[in-house]
Amino acid sequence: MLEQTRVHCPYCGEGIDAAVDCSAGSHRYIEDCAVCCRPIELEAEIDAWGNLLRLDVGRDDD
């Protein structure tokens, strides 16, 4: 169960679509920006029913 959500790259500021696997529960993963190709660290908080509660975006070099 993938949920698409719009986030902004912490490097270049461009809006990109991130696919979050809500069936995996809360998790962290890295996805490259489609514009500048830098690694974005995403942390998804998923509730017990598989709903995306929060998606935090950060730089991989922080």
Beta strands 27-32; 15-21: pairing state = unpaired
**Can you give the pLDDT of all 62 residues of the chain as single tens digits?**
899 999 999 999 999 999 999 999 999 999 999 999 999 999 999 999 999 999 999 998 86
Distance (Å, rounded) from C-alpha 35 to C-alpha 15?
9
- Contact between 12 and 25 under an 8 Å Cβ cutoff? The reply is no
- Domains in the chain, number: 1
The domain in which residue 50 lies consists of 2-59
Distance (Å, rounded) from C-alpha 44 to C-alpha 42?
6
pLDDT score recorded for residue 45: 97
